[in-house]
Structure 1
Amino acid sequence: MAKKLNIEIDYFDGYQLLGIVSQLKDYTLAFHINSAVNIDLKKYKDFNFADKEGNLSSFSWYYYCFNLLMAKIYLISNKSSSGRLIPSKKEIDYFLLFKEFPDDSFTAEIAQKIRKIPNVMAVFNLDLNALKDADIIIENNELHEIEEVLKPAKLKQRKFIK
């Protein structure tokens, strides 16, 4: 008799997500996070996203990579002039996405530091598996990173080698 093998895939393995509630402008929040956590989030071209109706919205996008760990942090705005990136999370103004961090303690430590920033009302740890539109953030963020960070870095490398 043949045995049935079930495979469960966690599409969000290696990712953690914080939701931040704050009325601060994106650049001010990024500055305070950089100071509090001792990192260097840098602003890149806005993250563009088309909703189900085809309306294009732009969301601010910041990026930082820990070179030794290859762990990455992304600060992504949840609101634009034309809507929300994740409509089911209207109360959240920004997402702080962590990729390839070795454990959850680092994320918890960063959340504690962000809570101390003036004008940050709340910081939530969000479960990506429970978040309805988590794939929107992950997939589009990956594509945006390739376009804005990885391709330009590869081009610089080629110019340097020649």
Structure 2
Amino acid sequence: MAVHKLVLDDVFEEALFTLIAIHCTIEDYRLAYLLNKHLGINLVRKPLDLDYNNGKSTYSIFEWEDNKLLTKWNLVSNICKTQETPKSNQQSLFSTQQQITKTFNLIPEHKGVNYFLKIDNDNNFRKEAYILSAILNIPQVVTAFNVDVNQLKSKDNLIFS
């Protein structure tokens, strides 16, 4: 009996995108505005946020498609804070309504990062150093750095389509 061997190296090619982590304390819309201004792009908020865990955690997302360079830019929040009221214990003398704040991260490996800038490009993208330099020149940004996507365990969370 003949043995057939299938080689699937080219089929499951890694996604080609650049991921830049941004640490700052400003709101997402202000950061999108500053990135638009300093990078010459046009990020626009998507009508629906990213929804994980059936609404337990949602992350704001901004998007822009550059048709000239065939590039898609996404600015996504890494932190989602939700408030919950615990179920009241009927046996207590006083009813206390405490709010519990839970924090969820889109990429748990980088809990200190506030936002990620994902740049999808099928071609070789060579502007990473320029983009990182422009982001670091924004006064409200504390720090920004490239993230090696191959080292992330939760890189499936970066699939937005």
1:32 matched to which residue of 2? 34
AA in 1 matched with 2:42: D
Q: CA RMSD in A?
A: 2.0
The one-letter code of the counterpart of 1:69 is L
The share of aligned pairs that are identical, in percent, is: 30
Deviates more, 1:94-103 or 1:115-124: 94-103
88, 112, 122: which one pairs with 1:91?
A: 112
The equivalences for 1:50-129 within 5 A come to: 50=53, 56-82=56-82, 83-100=104-121, 102-129=123-150
User: Could you tell me how far apart the structure 1 residues matched to 2:46 and 2:7 are?
Assistant: 41
- How far the C-alpha of 1:7 sits from its partner, in A, is 4.7
Q: Which runs of 5+ in 2 are unaligned?
A: 83-103
User: Is 1:11–2:11 an aligned residue pair?
Assistant: no
Q: Structure 1: state its 5+ residue gaps.
A: 143-162
- Structure 1 letter corresponding to 2:14: Y
Q: Distance in 1 between matches of 2:14 and 2:67?
A: 24
Task: Choose between structure 1 and 2: higher helix proportion.
Answer: 1
Q: Summarize deviations over 1:116-152 as a string: whole Å, max 9, x none.
A: 11121111111111111011212xx12xxxxxxxxxx
Question: Could you tell me which amino acid in structure 1 is paired with residue 52 of structure 2?
Answer: F
Structure of greater Rg: 2
